[in-house]
Amino acid sequence: MPENKPIILIISVSKLQLDRINAHLLSALKARANLEEVSTAKVAMEKLSCTPPPNAVLVTDAAVTQRKHHQVLDRLALYAKSGGIVVFACQFSSFVRPLDMGAMFKSTWKLSWTSG
């Protein structure tokens, strides 16, 4: 009987080559989970709305903080508020502007966090 692995959704809406940059991370995740990688906001919205939802979401780039991707960010917040796990990782912290991160935490996530 096949092992039931958790589903991890990887969102890279700026279409970074995550496989080359973080091959070690992807290899470790693939050994423990089924990965679904998306590189467009439209597909990210579909995957975040599906049933059953992914067990966790890995956001790998700062593009979700851009105004044009506000729907994805809003859906991520809704997913997290309903019990989902969202991790901002990989190149996210390297390319997000401090003001964008602060605005994201304050307006979308309703958190009092600030970037340091």
Q: What's the pLDDT score for residue 27? A: 86
Residue 101 domain-assigned (yes or no):
yes
Residue 76 domain-assigned (yes or no):
yes
Residue 116 domain-assigned (yes or no):
no
Q: Is the CB of residue 59 less than 8 Å from the CB of residue 95?
A: no
Q: What's the pLDDT score for residue 6? A: 93
Q: Is the CB of residue 50 less than 8 Å from the CB of residue 39?
A: no
Query: For each of the chain's 116 residues, which pLDDT tens digit applies?
Result: 346 899 999 998 876 656 667 778 888 888 999 999 898 999 999 999 988 899 999 988 888 888 888 899 999 999 999 999 999 877 777 777 777 777 788 888 888 877 66
Residue 30 domain-assigned (yes or no):
yes
The Cα–Cα gap between 110 and 49 comes to 21
Residue 99 domain-assigned (yes or no):
yes
Q: What's the pLDDT score for residue 1? A: 36
Tokens of 96: 């997000």
Residue 81 one-letter amino acid:
K
Which residue range forms the structural domain that includes residue 56?
A: 7-108
Residue 67 domain-assigned (yes or no):
yes
Q: What's the pLDDT score for residue 19? A: 62
Q: What's the pLDDT score for residue 3? A: 66
Q: What is the CATH number of the domain that holds 67?
A: 3.40.50.2300
